[in-house]
């Protein structure tokens, strides 16, 4: 094998190794979601703009709820490759929430009978 071919092979192996490590770091698991997240919703009345949502892992299943004192359980919660979707019963209606996770940040929308509203959330640090 010539030196040229050997160097090409080494570069190719190095490139694919670095690419695989980089892409593996971008994969979120349900365990990455578990914890408390502070959220902000835009274009809604002030009393609904901010709060917390919590994701938990129970019996190999991800569950969650909005609020601390008055909890709203997340219904039909699915977590798939960084995409989170669920529904909330809210004041006689249903809110549909779709978010994408990038590390310790969630971004997405809440859809209600009154329209579509942007939501962002940041994961709180573990104490």
Kindly state whether residue 65 falls inside one of the protein's structural domains. yes
Domain that holds residue 100: 30-123
What is the per-residue pLDDT for 32?
86
CA angle 125, 77, 50 (to 5 degrees): 45
Q: How far is CA 45 from CA 36, 42, 49, 92, 112, in A?
A: 23, 9, 7, 17, 14
Rg from Cα positions in the chain? 20
* Domain-located, residue 92: yes
24 lies in a domain? no
- What is the domain count for the chain? 1
Residue 100 has pLDDT above 60, yes or no: yes
17 within a domain of the structure (yes/no) = no
Model confidence over 29-78: pLDDT tens digits?
A: 556 899 999 999 999 999 999 999 999 998 889 999 998 888 999 999 99
Q: What is the pTM of this model?
A: 0.74
**CATH number, domain containing residue 80:** 2.40.128.20
């Amino acid at each position: 094998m010539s030196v040229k071919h050997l160097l090409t092979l080494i570069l190719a192996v190095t490139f694919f190794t670095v690419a695989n490590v980089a892409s593996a770091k971008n994969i979120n698991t349900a365990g990455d979601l578990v914890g408390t997240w502070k959220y902000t919703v835009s274009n809604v009345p002030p009393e609904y703009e901010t709060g917390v949502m919590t994701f938990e892992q129970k019996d190999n299943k991800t569950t969650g709820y909005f609020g601390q004192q008055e909890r709203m359980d997340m219904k039909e919660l699915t977590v798939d490759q960084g995409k989170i979707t669920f529904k909330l019963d809210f004041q006689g209606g249903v809110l549909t929430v779709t978010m994408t996770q990038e590390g310790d940040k969630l971004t997405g929308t809440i859809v209600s009978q009154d329209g579509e509203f942007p939501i962002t959330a940041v994961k709180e640090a573990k104490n």
